[in-house]
Amino acid sequence: MLDQVDWPRFARLAEFHRIEGLAALCVADQTSAPDGIRLTLAGAAARIAARNLEASAECRTLLKSFHSAGVPLLFLKGLTVGVLGYRSAMAKAAVDIDLLIDPADLRRAAELLRAAGYSLAAPRDSANDRVLTSWHRCWKESIWAKRSPRLQIDLHTRSADNPRLIPSLSAHSARQTVDVGNGVQLPTFADEELFAYLAVHGASSAWFRLKWIADLGGFLSGRSGEEIERLHHRSQELGAGRAAGQALLLADDLFGTLADAPGLRRALLQDATTRRLYRTAFRLLTREPTEPTDRLLGSLPIRWSQFQLLFGARFKLSELSGQVRRMLTRVTV
């Protein structure tokens, strides 16, 4: 079967879906893969590993700085999920370092990032703390950039743009410490909270990139059906809504995640909206690899999905209000 693979397309898909590090591991011993493809993916994997080493050192510095200042924080996705999902922090590609802080610590966190050499990229760089505070009322994160080494931080004051989703998840939530290598240990959400967060994070973009569902699939790999049912049940208590069901059905289609939880699969499929959310995500994931914004109305399925994640008209109204406010804030700030 591997001798029928369109290898150039395989490489393009790996790049678009940001899984080149994982793809490199898969083809390293595949003699049917052309040498050029293996070398291309190996080069990309080496760059990912080098970037992750830089990020790891930066995370250690940031953790020490925030701890010394008495600012609690958690690391989201990135290196910690790489270890929990793939047993290695080096293979998972990441564009940025995601930090979650308490909203009350926003001003102090901004001071710490500026002292560490970062400047605001979104909203536009400003010394006015009121601008930053106003931005965070509408957006879950601000974006900070550093030139040397070239790094980006997404500074989160909540875990989802819509505060009705996973509202209790915060920098003070249950946590675990993950060893990401070289003696660097980073705090992140405990497993139950992390599952809910990863489901909502992927659902916010309707899972159009494979790396997100691969991360979730890796995180769930090897867990019993009973444990997955428990994670799903807890995600509903935490306010993940249909995002958790959408994630599990998609992961099951790709990785057989629900093989030991057939009852949960049947229950999820009984909800028509969850079924539609899963099918929408699957279509986006398997279509031609282009950014949604590169297509006419390409982001419309994502916007539709965002309105369906929780039950009831109040959530839909809050989502509409939030999307309008975020659009206006992006234009004016």
92 and 44 in contact (C-beta within 8 Å)?
Answer: no
Query: Residue-wise over 247-269: b if at least 16 C-beta within 10 A, else e?
Result: bbbbbbbbbebbeebeebbeebe
**At a CB cut-off of 8 Å and minimum separation 6, what does 222 contact?**
none
DSSP at 146: E
Alpha helices in 69-171 (DSSP H): 78-86, 106-115, 129-138
The model carries a pTM of: 0.94
Q: How far apart are the first and last CA of the chain?
A: 53
CA 208 vs. chain centroid, Å, equals 12
Predicted confidence band at 328 (pLDDT cuts at 50, 70, 90)?
Answer: confident
pLDDT band at 126 (very low <50, low <70, confident <90, very high): low
| pLDDT bracket for residue 330 (50, 70, 90) | low
| Structure confidence by residue, pLDDT tens digits, 49-81 | 999 999 999 999 999 999 999 999 999 999 999
Element holding 316 (H helix, E strand): helix 313-332
Q: How confident is the model at residue 128 (pLDDT cuts 50, 70, 90)?
A: confident
Residues near 323 by beta carbon (within 8 Å), at least 6 away in sequence: 303, 306
Mean pLDDT on 202-229? 97
Q: Output the pLDDT for position 32.
A: 85
Digit-coded pLDDT (tens) for 284-308: 999 999 998 888 778 999 999 999 9
For residue 211, pLDDT over 60 is answered with: yes
Task: State percent of the chain over pLDDT 70.
Answer: 97
Q: How confident is the model at residue 186 (pLDDT cuts 50, 70, 90)?
A: very high
Q: Tell me the C-alpha distance between 4 and 32, whole Å.
A: 9
Look at residue 1 in the predicted model and tell me its pLDDT.
56
Q: Report the CATH architecture of 57-189.
A: 2-Layer Sandwich (3.30)
Domain boundaries, the chain: 57-189, 190-333
Mean pLDDT confidence for 86-92: 88
